[in-house]
């Protein structure tokens, strides 16, 4: 059964109200119409702007079998050319023997690794959540690997500013929890790591602000940031991060980001990602990602919390290749 649920302009404006003010009349003040499609392999959220004769489209997709998130901005719903995009893909899960620096690097022994083809998608779950009385939504993709191992990718968005898991959560931010359980260790003196790949257009090359990476093209910046700690068996522990630039064809830039964790049975870590825009009247480079820049290409997610229970579509679709 298929539903296409338009979001009333007044409702969208109310949900996006926290963004209004600094740049009156910008895209974030305009109403949006949302559609959500879900299938066994992932989901796609489409957010269309329909005011002032402008009809841009934002797409947020999880390609489940490819273990890849894609954010795409199009100038119109019918456009086939992307204005901006950011891909964040899981590459492998590793068991390694640390050389003492707490990170996965060239000097560390790889005991075993599981790449994307070793991950078996078990299912996709959608549920409503609340934080501080603010409604939100969580979408969780669950995977199995290596016999006993389990990985979950849990995306959380809210319809208004709230505090969630100890952090302020903006309605235009996407929080991604990496949940790693029961890693199938083969040795007793090793620890796990997760490697991800982030790719976006960046004519001048990528930048490395504190605890994150960013790619700037024109007035658009694609950003991927993370906490420096993770919960391991309920205890806050440091995360050892390694960032490596990979060969690519300019103007695109690709970075490998590896998170190394303290050994444990249940690990929870929470990166954040999205598109940012530098306004004409000056948001300067180097400003921290959370709280100061306006997230750009995922603005439509602000209304997801109230729309999703009524706008879910199930359909068959093969996952796309990498």
The SS3 call for residue 225 is strand
For the stretch 3-24, pLDDT in tens is 333 333 333 333 333 333 333 3
Q: What is the mean pLDDT of residues 173-189?
A: 92
Tokens of 77: 């719903």
Q: Which of 17-31, 109-123, 232-246 has the lowest mean pLDDT?
A: 17-31
Residue owning tokens 């929890």: 177
Output the pLDDT for position 108. 96
Output the pLDDT for position 52. 58
Share of residues in the chain with pLDDT > 90 (%): 35
- DSSP structural state of residue 319: P
Distances in Å between the Cα of 73 and the Cα atoms of 84, 271, 274 are 5, 21, 11
For the stretch 225-237, pLDDT in tens is 899 999 999 999 9
Q: What is the mean pLDDT of residues 203-232?
A: 87
pLDDT band at residue 139 using 50, 70 and 90 as cut-offs: confident
- CA count, 13 A, side-chain hemisphere, 81: 2
**Cis status of the peptide bond prior to 251, with omega within 30 of 0:** yes
3 state SS for 50-89: CCCCCCCEEEEEEECCCCEEEEEEECCCCCCCEEEEEEEE
pLDDT band at residue 315 using 50, 70 and 90 as cut-offs: very low
Check pLDDT > 80 for residue 2: no
For the stretch 242-258, pLDDT in tens is 999 998 888 989 999 99
Burial class (CB in 10 A: 0-12, 13-18, 19+), 276: buried
Q: What is the mean pLDDT of residues 279-291?
A: 33
Output the pLDDT for position 276. 67
Q: Which of 94-103, 105-114, 121-130, 304-313 has the lowest mean pLDDT?
A: 304-313
**How far is it, in rounded angstroms, from Cα 278 to Cα 276?**
7
pLDDT band at residue 39 using 50, 70 and 90 as cut-offs: confident
Output the pLDDT for position 306. 35
Q: What is the mean pLDDT of residues 273-288?
A: 45
In the chain the domains, ranked by start, together with CATH numbers, are: 9-311 (2.70.98)
Q: At 302, give phi and psi (nearest 5°).
A: -55, -35
- DSSP structural state of residue 8: P
Residue among 54, 52, 13 nearest 306 (CA): 13
Q: Which residues contact 14 (CB under 8 A, 6 or more apart)?
A: none
**How far is it, in rounded angstroms, from Cα 266 to Cα 224?**
23
Check pLDDT > 50 for residue 204: yes
Residue among 257, 245, 225, 240 nearest 89 (CA): 257
Across 70-74, 118-122, 125-129, 302-306, the highest mean pLDDT is recorded for 118-122
Output the pLDDT for position 284. 32
Q: Which of 81-85, 190-194, 281-285 has the lowest mean pLDDT?
A: 281-285
Output the pLDDT for position 20. 33
């Amino acid at each position: 059964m298929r539903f296409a649920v338009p979001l009333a302009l007044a409702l969208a404006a109310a949900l996006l109200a926290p963004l209004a003010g600094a740049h009156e009349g910008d895209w974030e003040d305009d109403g949006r119409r949302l559609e959500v499609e879900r299938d066994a392999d992932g989901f796609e959220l489409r957010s269309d702007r329909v005011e002032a004769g402008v009809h841009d489209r934002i797409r947020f997709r999880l390609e489940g079998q490819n273990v890849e998130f894609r954010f795409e901005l199009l100038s119109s719903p019918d456009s086939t050319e992307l204005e901006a995009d950011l891909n964040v893909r899981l590459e492998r899960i590793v068991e390694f023997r640390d050389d003492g620096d707490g990170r996965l690097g060239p000097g560390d022994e790889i005991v075993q690794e599981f790449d994307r083809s070793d991950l078996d998608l078990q299912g996709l779950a959608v549920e409503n959540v609340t934080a501080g009385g603010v409604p939100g939504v969580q979408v969780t993709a669950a995977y199995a690997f290596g016999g006993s191992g389990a990985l979950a990718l849990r995306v959380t968005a809210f319809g208004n500013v709230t505090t969630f898991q100890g952090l302020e959560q903006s309605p235009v931010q996407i929080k991604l929890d990496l949940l790693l359980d029961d890693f199938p260790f083969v040795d007793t003196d090793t620890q796990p790591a997760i490697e991800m790949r982030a790719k976006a257009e960046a004519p001048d090359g990528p930048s490395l602000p504190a605890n994150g990476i960013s790619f700037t093209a024109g007035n658009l910046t694609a950003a991927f940031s993370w906490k420096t700690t993770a919960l391991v068996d309920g205890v806050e522990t440091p995360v050892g991060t390694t960032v490596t630039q990979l060969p690519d064809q300019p103007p695109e830039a690709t970075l490998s980001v590896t998170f190394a964790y303290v050994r444990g049975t249940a690990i929870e870590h929470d990166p954040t990602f999205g598109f940012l825009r530098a306004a004409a009247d000056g948001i300067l480079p180097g400003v921290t990602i959370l709280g100061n820049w306006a997230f750009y290409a995922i603005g439509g997610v602000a209304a997801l919390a109230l729309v999703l229970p009524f706008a879910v579509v199930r359909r068959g679709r093969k996952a796309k290749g990498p």
